Structure formats: C-alpha cells, structure tokens
Amino acid sequence: MALAVALTTQCAYCIDVHIKGAKQAGVSEEELAELISISASVKAGATMAHGLLAMRLFEQ
C-alpha cells in the first residue's frame, strides 16, 4: 500500500524506501508490475476528474 501511494504521489524518496520494504516482504516482479499499473490508473483517473472540472469551470 505504501509503495502504491509513493508511486501515485511520485515521491522518489518514498519509492526508494518502500521498494526495499516490498522486496523484503517478498513481493514478486509480477505483483510490482500490477501495483504500477493500478497506481497509473489512479493517477489517470484523478487527472480526468480534474480535467472535467476544468472544462466545467471554463464554460462558466
């Protein structure tokens, strides 16, 4: 979970710290790839939501 948040917030220090913890916890490369995909989806979803807000505000 911490690594997912670090990826979503794009905090390089946090990614460094939490990837080490994930490796120690036995996370597989496949699990890491899935986590990256989910984090990217969350970030893209937030961008779309804020983009729609920007469009509504622009129309006012």
The rounded average pLDDT for each run of 10 residues, N- to C-terminus, in the chain (60 residues) is: 92 96 96 95 90 96
Q: Report the pLDDT value the prediction gives residue 51, as an integer from 0 to 100.
A: 94
Q: Report the pLDDT value the prediction gives residue 52, as an integer from 0 to 100.
A: 95
Q: Report the pLDDT value the prediction gives residue 26, as an integer from 0 to 100.
A: 97
Query: In whole angstroms, what is the distance from residue 29 CA to residue 31 CA?
Result: 5
pTM value is: 0.75
The domains of the chain are located at 2-59
Q: Report the pLDDT value the prediction gives residue 20, as an integer from 0 to 100.
A: 97
Q: Read off the amino acid at residue 17.
A: V
**Cα atoms found within 13 Å of the Cα of residue 43, Cβ hemisphere only:** 13
